[in-house]
Structures are given as C-alpha cells and as structure tokens.
Amino acid sequence: MSYPITGPILLPSEPALKTDTPAMLDWGGPLTPQNGGAVQTLMRLGTRHSLDFVMPPMLTEPHGRIWAAKLKLAKLFGALLPFGQDGFVIGAPGSPVVNGTGQSGMLLNMRGFTPRYTVKFGQAFSLVHLGHRFIYFAADQGTAGADGGLLLPIFPMLRAIPVDGDACEFGKPMIEGSLSMGGSNKIGQDRDTAPWSTFGTITITENE
C-alpha cells in the first residue's frame, strides 16, 4: 500500500468468497408511450456493473481483523476486487492494450494479444483509463490475428473515451468502485463468541 493512501483498496484474497452476485445496472431501458405507440429502447451512456458478495465465517484473528480494516478503508477510498469467472479457463491472452484514439460505442480495437488468442462470448475484462477500471464483456467471440490485433464487439458502451495504450486486463479482470454493506453507509462486522467474524452482504458498485 502506498502513502498517503489514495485508493482504490485491494480487498484480501483469503478467505475466498462464499457466494457472489454480479449484476448489470442499466440506466437506459424501454420507453413506453402512453397512447400505444412503439416502445423505444434507450441506450444511455453510463450502464455499469455491481458485485454483491458474501464472505464465509472467518476467525476474527487474523482474517476478521484484516477484512474489517480493509473494508473500512475501501469505504473511504474505493474498493478493488478480482472479478471471478467460475470454471472459465482464461488461458494466456498476452498484454492487450487499446489500439488507437477516439474510440467510442460498442467496438474496441486492441493490440498486444497472444497471436490467435480467442476471446469468448461473455468473457470479462477491465479497461484501465486514467487510473480507473471499467468492467466490460465480449459481445461476440473474436480471435486475434497473427499480429495480436483484435477488433472486439463489447458491452455495455464505452463510458469514457480510452487513449492509445490503455491496458485491457483479460488475464485478471478487476471490478473497482464504491463499497457498501446492506445499502447503508455503515461498515462493520458481527463478532461471535467462537471467536468468529461475519460481514453480511458486501457490494461494490462501479462509479461510472
């Protein structure tokens, strides 16, 4: 951890999550006219993702102590957590980056993949722009060329215009955002007499 602390705070890797619930937060949606006209679907910029997760009961010392402190820091400075893809074999994607400037919409041109690497439909990756991560998913399967280049359909729409060379984290996608517990601004733990700690449902929501 660097000082002074600026965040985001990488949450501990142990113990592993008990359950998690990834979700897409759609800020667009159908627009239904009052007089029976055709429904229009709005594709608004800003659709993003959240992740609810529950930790297993853990010994208060040391794991409960460490998790409690990290969660409180993440509430203040933002949270960072690997975005799991259970059962999916990522393989060796290489070191892909954004290829070119001025990109927008739902297509992303990249370079730096391992030649002939195949991105699978629904595969997650995080794009790092100006120090912030944005989670995206492949909207179709695509295979990099012999030069490591790939033009990939993605969803949702790009929320910030990336610059040439921005990292695309396919090997270990990460979700970054604000942290909450139970929808409130309170961060805490239940300390049982065993001595065990539990934390309830924790949520990370992308900020943009």
Which residues, other chains included, contact 88 with Cβ-Cβ below 8 Å and sequence gap of 6+?
A: 120, 123
Domain ranges of the chain: 9-84+175-205, 94-172
**Which string of b and e fits 98-114 if b means at least 16 CB within 10 Å?**
bbeeebeeeebebbbbe
Place of tokens 């600026």: 6
Best CA proximity match to 25, nearest among 170, 184, 161, 207: 207
pLDDT of residue 34: 78
pLDDT of residue 1: 65
pLDDT of residue 142: 98
146: left (phi over 0), alpha (psi -120 to 50) or beta: alpha
pTM: 0.90
pLDDT of residue 49: 96
pLDDT of residue 7: 83
pLDDT of residue 99: 98
10-residue mean pLDDT series, the chain (208 residues): 83 94 87 80 84 95 94 96 95 98 96 98 98 97 98 96 97 97 78 84 95
Protein fold of 94-172 = Elongation Factor Tu (Ef-tu); domain 3 (2.40.30)
